[in-house]
A and B are shown apart, each in its own frame.
Chain A
Amino acid sequence: SQTIHQWPATLVQPVGSPLSLECTVEGTSNPNLYWYRQAAGRGLQLLFYSVGIGQISSEVPQNLSASRPQDRQFILSSKKLLLSDSGFYLCAWSPLDRDNSPLHFGNGTRLTVT
């Protein structure tokens, strides 16, 4: 069966520090991978999605970046965090080339930038 792992679960970082959140998927190949952010009191916002290794699409201009160094690994990074980067970050995957397919979420990372 397929599983998705996301870590860490919580993170407190000072402004200006770097960020690296990691997400891995097991039990499937060539998944679509997504990073979402949920700010307090707001809906989920798509940050990045990837349909293959090294292929990243950015939805929202900001100081975050994403990389997909391996088929089932998706990393969210920042060189210098801002206060506005605080939020709940969710990684998700869906089967590739299946437009109407379910979306599977990781347990999320709660990031607080102080």
Chain B
Amino acid sequence: KNEVEQSPQNLTAQEGEFITINCSYSVGISALHWLQQHPGGGIVSLFMLSSGKKKHGRLIATINIQEKHSSLHITASHPRDSAVYICAVRVSGTASKLTFGTGTRLQVTL
């Protein structure tokens, strides 16, 4: 079993829909990252959080440390949100290393 599990693996939504991507992990962490990978392969860091909730534009990330779970929400989704969203955790005591989920492929259609 992977230390970081994401669901769903694939997601198709219509423009304007509210989207939720989930990430569960089985280890103690010091931080959790949400990343966005576009079709060309480039990766952008969306959020880094260790507690609570963060918001940036239409994106919201939450984390529940006790339940070892994080969610990424996209409000009013748009075709340009189509990408692979990756959850990654920094395992406690591992300093510089991240453990990655396999990603959620999101396709937003008109």
Contacts and interface: CB of A to CB of B under 8 A. Distances in A.
A92 B102 CA distance: 18
Contact of A49 (B2, B90, B96, B101): B96
B106 interface: no
Main secondary structure of the interface of B (DSSP, over half): strand
B4, B43, B44, B90, most chain A CB atoms within 10 A: B43
A103 B97 contact: no
B31 A103 contact: no
B103 A108 contact: no
Given A100-B31, A100-B48, A101-B48, A43 B101 contact: yes
A107 B95 CA distance: 24
Contact of B102 (A42, A88, A90, A102): A42
A103 B41 contact: no
Contacts of B33: 102-103
B57 interface: no
14 contacts: A43-B2, A43-B4, A43-B101, A46-B98, A90-B41, A92-B43, A100-B30, A101-B48, A102-B33, A102-B45, A103-B33, A103-B48, A105-B45, A108-B42
Interface of A: 32, 34, 38, 41-46, 49, 51, 59, 88, 90, 92, 94, 99-108, 110
User: Which 4 residue pairs are nearest across A and B when measured between Cβ atoms?
Assistant: A105-B43, A43-B102, A44-B100, A43-B100
